[in-house]
Amino acid sequence: MMSLLVKELLLLGLLHLLHPLECNGCPTKCTCEGTSVNCARSGVISVPGGIPSNTTNLNLNFNYIFVLLGEDFENLEDLEILGLQRIQLKTLPSGIFDRLSSLTSLDLSNNLLTGFPRGIFRNLSSLTTLDLRVNYVTTFAGHLFSGLGQLETL
């Protein structure tokens, strides 16, 4: 018969396989320090699950994510810095940033974006830096930057 300790260790190992988090609560392929989660150049193809809800800095730069889902950032209301540089994005889902009212810096540079949904930045009232360089946007709708009263760098 297996001891209770061995059974518990096996169960923990199975849970670890089913839920892709490291023991410290950091998503697999990412490194975490304090409230910062760094998944840059990690090879992720989607926003990893299990990002701690108290994360203030999330770096997803230099990956092949291609598509963001509407719920990818919904539990990250404390997020202040979001790096989405060079992740091959072509479009942004409407409302993707709606719950990120604490966001001060958003980097969407070096992607394949051709435009933005109406009101995409409307709830980012704390945003001071927005980097949209090296995309394929040719015109910006007049309403795009309304509500960004704190914006210092575009």
Give pLDDT tens digits along the chain (154 positions): 555 544 454 444 444 444 444 445 899 999 999 999 999 999 999 999 999 999 999 999 999 999 999 999 999 999 999 999 999 999 999 999 999 999 999 999 999 999 999 889 999 999 999 999 999 998 877 788 888 889 999 8
Q: Which of 84, 32, 79, 82 is nearest to 56 (CA)?
A: 79
What lies within 8 Å, CB to CB, of 58 at 6+ separation is 36, 37, 39, 51, 76, 79, 81, 82, 83
Q: How far is 26 from 35, CA to CA, in rounded Å? A: 10
What global pTM score does this model have? 0.83
- What's the pLDDT score for residue 1? 54
- What's the pLDDT score for residue 73? 97
Q: How far out from the chain centre does Cα 22 lie?
A: 18
- Tokens for 34? 């304090």
Cβ contact 53:32 at 8 Å? no
- What's the pLDDT score for residue 18? 40
- What's the pLDDT score for residue 64? 97
Q: How far is 32 from 47, CA to CA, in rounded Å? A: 15
- What's the pLDDT score for residue 144? 85
- What's the pLDDT score for residue 25? 87
Q: How far is 87 from 60, CA to CA, in rounded Å? A: 8
- Tokens for 88? 């091959």
Residue 82: strand, helix, or coil? strand
Q: What is the DSSP string of 19-31?
A: S-B-TTSPBTT-E
